[in-house]
Amino acid sequence: MNTATGYIKALQSGTKHVVMKRFTFRYPQEKLKFVGDGYQFDPKKGVGIAGIRGRHILFHDKCTGCQLCAIACEGIAEAITMVKVDEQWKQNKKSIMPQIDYGKCVFCGLCVDACPFYALYMTDDFELSSYTKSHLIYTPAQLAVKPKYDGEVEIKIGKRGAYHGR
Amino acid sequence: MSNIEEKISEAKKLALQITRETEEDRLMTLSVGPQHPGSGHFRFVIKVDGDYIVYVDPDPGYVHRGHEKMCEYRNHFQNIPHLERPVIHDSCNITYSYSLAVEDLVGITVPRRGQFIRALASELSRLSYTLYWLAIYGIFLGHSTMFMWPAGDRELLIDLLERLTGARITNAFSIPGGVRCDIPNNFKEKCLAQVNYFEKRLKEYEDIFFNNPLLRQRTEGVGILTKEDAIKLGVTGSVLRASGVPFDVRKVEPYDVYNEIDFQVQYMKTCDSFARAYVPLLDMRESCHIIRQLIDKMPESGDVREKLQFNIKSSPGETYKRVESGRGALGYHVVSDGSPKPYRVKASVGSFRNLLALPFLLTGSKLGDMPAIYWSLNYWPVEADR
């Protein structure tokens, strides 16, 4: 290719971006929309349900304290420990439930795959930062809380290029 | 008068002594990395004679973490999340290769729909890796627009991976037995729209970067690796294809559904740095083509995963399976003694094989050509160290 045309074409394709839409979005004000409510797993079918892998949610009325999630995590991150809870549940004789350290968790979701009782899912809450390490350890009571997250924007493709829109 | 002349002649002798050059004095030793922002976690010691490099000593191992030894203490499923750590943005390909090996040992076949989804995730992962590499190549050559564009467009593919797998980079998606979950609703339309848009963007990359005379002057004819040398050194992936050898594991040893897919192996015969930068772009185009076919041919319904026990015991034996990753052939040799944990795992990665070409290419070239040669090798330090 001719040198002059090469320069002109390079400049042209750069200048075209003046009229194109901004691809980035303003994060804390606008948030990304995810598929579903987070990663879930159906032990009967043996297949997961697609969703973002954020922090976990624990259903106290279903957890039996079988420790399968902790065993699955053993060689990966060792983030799950079983702790004693004050509540009394019929299915949970030992009254133990998982406690998750998000300073160690790698969000692989294999603990969710291991749970045979529909008790442990993942949610779309990914904003877990805190000032101290001890705040990253979520007790069973904290894990039971359903997070509130409403994403708005997603990638759209228009005439003036791709952008994040509602 | 004579006194002054004596002093001058003495001073001249002294000056000659100071500036007298031996062979060792002529050479200057430079250490590139690991503190250099462009080199990654990798250091190479070079000796320069003026502007020319005469000696190169690569020194990998800064991020060695005993990755292969770690595998011996975990079962096949627990291995998946930490096997993908070396190249987190190409994670679907690494776990793909390991899954194929374990499936061979256990003796199962993945359901057909699972094979398609796995291949789709692997193609998306390859695209996102190549864009990341292209962004670094751009900024290393001082072209900051070429850093911004691929890094921005990578979001299109990361977004698709996030919808499909649930995580943006560390996907942990391909597991022994298939994939973790089925594709979500409206994924196919979304995937087609974004991949088609992305393919149009590749034309703009060519205009601003690859056909730019500035880049061509810096890379054309630099770091020539001939076909014979490339084969002798045992390089792989885009480096090998840029030297005129049409080798792609997807074509040579088709795994899963790749024998049903129609695609060309892209290669160039110019053997220089420019070819090594341009072949990945051609590969990206081919990947877009493959993704469209995968979506088109995917069965409408069916299982995606063969259910395996968490502590699955494999039959004693050994196997080697390889896939084409973003950096070339990537294989896992898994030896099993019949217990749930592998007896030995050995990875053969493209990065380490391409590293062998680095001293070969840099010796004799100019110091200014170092960035253009180093990053064109598609080298990823973390993967090479493992």
Q: In 10 A of CB A87, how many CB atoms? A: 11
Q: What pLDDT score was predicted for residue A95?
A: 85
pLDDT, mean of residues B275-287: 90
pLDDT at B38 over 70: no
Low-confidence ranges of chain A (pLDDT < 50): none
Strands laid side by side in the B317-325 sheet: B317-325, B328-336, B344-348
Nearest chain B CA: its distance from A114 CA (Å)? 8
Does residue B21 lie in a domain region? no
**Rounded-to-integer distance, Cα B329 and Cα B40, Å:** 21
On whether residue B45 sits in a domain, the answer given is no
Q: What is the mean pLDDT of chain B?
A: 86
User: Is there a contact between B205 and B150 (Cβ–Cβ < 8 Å)?
Assistant: yes
Band of residue B84 on the pLDDT scale cut at 50, 70, 90: confident
User: Is residue B352 domain-resident?
Assistant: yes
Which residues from B are below 8 Å from A36, CB to CB?
184
Q: Please name the member of A36, A47, A77 whose beta carbon is closest to the beta carbon of B305.
A: A47
Residue-wise over A112-151: b if at least 16 C-beta within 10 A, else e?
bbbbeeebbbbbbbbeeeeeeeeebbbebeebbeeeebee
Chain A touched by B310 (CB under 8 Å): yes
Residue B214, burial from CB neighbour count under 10 angstroms (0-12, 13-18, 19+): middle
d(C-alpha A63, C-alpha B159), whole Å: 33
Q: How many CB atoms lie within 10 A of CB B142?
A: 12
Tokens 């190409």, residue? B90
Which of A4-13, A157-166, B25-34, B257-266 is least confident? B25-34
- Residue type at position B301: S
For chain A, the structural domain boundaries read 36-143
Buried b (16+ CB within 10 A) or exposed e, B60-98: beebeeebbebbeebbbbbbbbbbbbbbebbbbbbbbbb
Q: Tell me which chain A residue has its CA closest to the CA of residue B181.
A: A48
**pLDDT score of B175:** 87
Query: Rounded distance, CA B329 to CA B331, Å?
Result: 6
Question: Cα(B172)–Cα(B118) distance, rounded to whole angstroms?
Answer: 11
What is the pLDDT, as a whole number, of residue B136?
A: 87
Query: Do residues B207 and B145 touch, judged by C-beta distance below 8 A?
Result: no
Residue B58 has pLDDT above 70, yes or no: yes
Q: How far is residue A87's CA from residue A82's CA, in Å, rounded to a whole number?
A: 14
Q: Which of B256, B359, B326, B376 is nearest to B89 (CA)?
A: B326
- Residue B23 has a pLDDT of 66
Band the pLDDT of B203: cuts 50, 70, 90: confident
Identify the CATH assignment for A36-143 out of 3.30.70.3270, 3.20.20.140, 3.40.50.720, 3.30.420.40: 3.30.70.3270
Q: Does B73 touch chain A (CB under 8 A)?
A: yes
Contact A10 B304 (CB under 8 A): no
Residue ranges making up the domain that contains B178: 59-385
Nearest of B166, B167, B163 to residue B186 by alpha carbon: B163
Percent share of chain B, pLDDT over 90: 4
Range of weakest confidence among A24-38, B15-29, B40-54, B239-253: B15-29
Give the DSSP H/E element, type plus range, for residue B110: none
How do strand B328-336 and strand B317-325 relate by DSSP bridges? antiparallel
| Domain annotation covers residue B42 | no
* Cross-sheet strand order for the sheet of B27-32: B27-32, B43-49, B52-59
Q: Do A108 and B170 touch (CB under 8 A)?
A: yes
Cβ–Cβ below 8 Å for A39 and B204: no
CA closest to B207 among chain A residues: A10
Dihedral pair phi/psi, residue B128, rounded to 5°: -70, -35
CA B194 – CA B128 distance, rounded (Å): 13
Please report the pLDDT score of residue A131 as a whole number: 92
Report residue B367 as tokens. 């110091």
pLDDT digits (tens, 9 = 90+) for B173-197: 888 888 888 888 888 888 898 889 9
Query: CB-based contact (8 Å) between B148 and chain A?
Result: no
| CATH number where B232 lies | 1.10.645.10
Check B73 against A75: CB less than 8 A apart.
Answer: yes
pLDDT by residue (tens digit) across B86-98? 888 888 888 998 9
CA-wise closest residue to B246 among B222, B223, B269: B269
How many Å apart are CA B268 and CA B327, to the nearest integer? 17
Nearest to A6 among B167, B212, B307 (CB): B212
The count of domains in chain B is 1
Tokens of A16: 């075209």
The string of pLDDT tens digits covering residues A122-161 is 888 888 888 998 889 988 888 888 888 888 888 888 888 8
Beta pairing partners, A32? A153
A109 close to A126: Cβ distance less than 8 angstroms: no
- pLDDT higher than threshold 70 for residue B36: no
Average pLDDT of B87-111? 88
Tell me, what amino acid is at B139?
I
DSSP state of B208: I
Q: Would you state the pLDDT for residue B370?
A: 85
Residues whose CB falls within 8 Å of the CB of residue B252, separated by 6 or more in sequence, listed in order:
none
Return the pLDDT at B172.
Answer: 86
- Judged against a pLDDT cut of 80, whether residue B33 lies above it is answered with no
| B181 at A interface, C-beta within 8 A | yes
Question: Does position B1 have pLDDT exceeding 60, yes or no?
Answer: no
Give chain A's end-to-end CA distance (angstroms, integer).
42
Read off the pLDDT of each residue in B280-309 and give the average, rounded to a whole number: 87
- The confidence score (pLDDT) of residue B210 equals 87
CB B325 within 8 A of CB B90: yes
Please give the pLDDT value at position B3. 81
User: Residue B115 falls within a domain, yes or no?
Assistant: yes
- Helix (H/G/I), strand (E/B), else coil: B56: strand
Q: Which two tokens stand for residue B316?
A: 């004693």
Q: In this structure, is residue B319 part of a structural domain?
A: yes
